Amino acid sequence: MSDSLHSTFCCCPPGRCGAAPPPVDVASASNFESFSLRHLDLRLQLSFPEREVRGRLSLRLCPLSCGVATLVLDTHPSLLIHSIDCRLPEGSLCSGLPYRIEPFTEYGAALSIALPAAAQEPHRGFEVIVLYTAKDAPAIWWLDAELTCGNLKPFVFTQGHSVCNRSFFPCFDTPAVKSTYSATVTVPEGVQVLMSATCSAYSEQDKAFQFHMEHPVPAYLVALVAGELIPADIGPRSRIWAEPCILNMAVSKLNGQVESWLCAAERLFGPYVWGRYDIVFLPPSFPIVAMENPCLTFIISSILDSSDFLVVDLIHEIAHSWFGNAVTNATWEEMWLSEGLATYAQRRITTEAFGAAFTCLETAFRLDALHRQMRLLGENNPVSKLQVKFESGVNPSSLMNLFTYEKGFCFISYLAELCGDPQRFDDFLRAYIERFCFCSVVAQDLLDYYLCFFPELQDNSVADREGLEFERWLSACGPPPSEPDLSQGNSLTEPVETLCQLWTAGTLDLPTITLHNLAQWQTFQMVLFLDKLLDRCPLSHEVMSRLARCYSPLLDSNAEVRIRWLQLVVRSGYFPELHKVRRFLEDHTSRMYTVPLYEDLCSSSLKSIAVDVFCQSQSRMHANLRKTLQQILSQCVGPLGSTPVGDERATDTTGTVALRDVNVSA
Write out the DSSP string of 577-646: GHHHHHHHHHH---HHHHHHHHHHHHTTT-HHHHHHHHHHHGGGS-HHHHHHHHHHHHHHH----SPPTT
Q: Would you give the DSSP letter of residue 150?
A: S
Which uninterrupted H or E stretch holds 128? strand 126-135
User: Is the confidence at residue 177, as pLDDT, over 50?
Assistant: yes
Instruction: Grade residue 362 by pLDDT with cuts at 50, 70 and 90.
Output: very high
CA neighbours closer than 13 Å in the CB half-sphere of residue 42: 32
User: Is the confidence at residue 16, as pLDDT, over 60?
Assistant: no
For 323-341, the pLDDT digits (tens) are: 999 999 999 999 999 999 9
**Least confident piece of the model among 354-358, 610-614, 661-665:** 661-665
User: Is the confidence at residue 639, as pLDDT, over 80?
Assistant: no
Q: Give the pLDDT confidence score for residue 625 in this predicted structure.
A: 93
Q: Give the pLDDT confidence score for residue 6 in this predicted structure.
A: 30
Q: Give the pLDDT confidence score for residue 448 in this predicted structure.
A: 98
Which uninterrupted H or E stretch holds 341? helix 335-354
Beta bridge partners of 112: 72, 100
Beta bridge partners of 296: 278
Angstrom distance (rounded) from CA 299 to CA 289: 6
The backbone torsions φ and ψ at residue 86, rounded to the nearest 5 degrees and listed phi first, read -140, 125
Judged on CB neighbours under 10 Å (0-12, 13-18, 19+), 513 is middle
Nearest to 533 by CA among 505, 491, 494, 575: 505
Mean pLDDT over the full length of the chain: 92
Instruction: Grade residue 506 by pLDDT with cuts at 50, 70 and 90.
Output: confident
Instruction: Grade residue 653 by pLDDT with cuts at 50, 70 and 90.
Output: very low
Task: In the chain, count H helices and then E strands.
Answer: 20, 22
> Would you call 445 helix, strand, or coil by DSSP?
helix
Which is higher by pLDDT, 23 or 4?
23
Cis upstream peptide for 162 (omega within 30°): yes
Report the C-alpha dihedral over residues 121, 123, 125, 130, rounded to 10 degrees: 70
Q: Cα–Cα distances in Å, from 627 out to 400, 634, 643?
A: 20, 10, 8
Instruction: Grade residue 20 by pLDDT with cuts at 50, 70 and 90.
Output: low
Q: Cα–Cα distances in Å, from 544 out to 194, 503, 524, 550?
A: 47, 10, 21, 10
**Least confident piece of the model among 257-266, 395-404, 480-489, 539-548:** 395-404
User: Is the confidence at residue 11, as pLDDT, over 90?
Assistant: no
pTM: 0.93
User: Is the confidence at residue 186, as pLDDT, over 60?
Assistant: yes
The backbone torsions φ and ψ at residue 64, rounded to the nearest 5 degrees and listed phi first, read -95, -10
Q: Give the pLDDT confidence score for residue 636 in this predicted structure.
A: 83
Q: Which residues are catalytic?
A: 317
Beta bridge partners of 278: 296
Angstrom distance (rounded) from CA 156 to CA 374: 37
User: Is the confidence at residue 22, as pLDDT, over 90?
Assistant: no
For 188-215, the pLDDT digits (tens) are: 999 999 999 999 999 999 999 999 999 9
Instruction: Grade residue 666 by pLDDT with cuts at 50, 70 and 90.
Output: low
Instruction: Grade residue 640 by pLDDT with cuts at 50, 70 and 90.
Output: low
Q: Give the pLDDT confidence score for residue 36 in this predicted structure.
A: 97
For the stretch 10-39, what's the b/e string if a residue is b when 16 or more beta carbons lie within 10 angstroms of its beta carbon? bbbbeebeeeeebbebbbbbbebbbbbbbb
> Would you call 603 helix, strand, or coil by DSSP?
coil
For 72-125, the pLDDT digits (tens) are: 999 999 999 999 999 999 999 999 999 999 999 999 999 999 999 999 999 999
> Would you call 635 helix, strand, or coil by DSSP?
helix
Instruction: Grade residue 660 by pLDDT with cuts at 50, 70 and 90.
Output: very low
Q: Give the pLDDT confidence score for residue 392 in this predicted structure.
A: 84
The backbone torsions φ and ψ at residue 93, rounded to the nearest 5 degrees and listed phi first, read -105, 130
Cα angle 234, 240, 241 (rounded to 5 degrees) comes to 155
Q: Give the pLDDT confidence score for residue 400 in this predicted structure.
A: 87
Judged on CB neighbours under 10 Å (0-12, 13-18, 19+), 254 is buried
Q: What is the mean pLDDT of residues 440-453?
A: 98
In the chain, what percentage of residues exceed pLDDT 70? 92
Q: Give the pLDDT confidence score for residue 60 in this predicted structure.
A: 98
DSSP labels, 384-437: GSSS--PPTT--GGGG--HIIIIIHHHHHHHHHHHHT-HHHHHHHHHHHHHHHT
Beta bridge partners of 652: none
Q: Give the pLDDT confidence score for residue 162 in this predicted structure.
A: 96
Q: Give the pLDDT confidence score for residue 665 in this predicted structure.
A: 47
For 277-316, the pLDDT digits (tens) are: 999 999 999 999 999 999 999 999 999 999 999 999 999 9
Q: What is the mean pLDDT of residues 157-175?
A: 98
For 217-233, the pLDDT digits (tens) are: 999 999 999 999 999 99
User: Is the confidence at residue 637, as pLDDT, over 80?
Assistant: no
CB 658 within 8 A of CB 592: yes
CB 280 within 8 A of CB 298: yes
Length of the chain: 666
Alpha helices in 420-469 (DSSP H): 422-436, 443-453, 455-459
Angstrom distance (rounded) from CA 473 to CA 152: 50
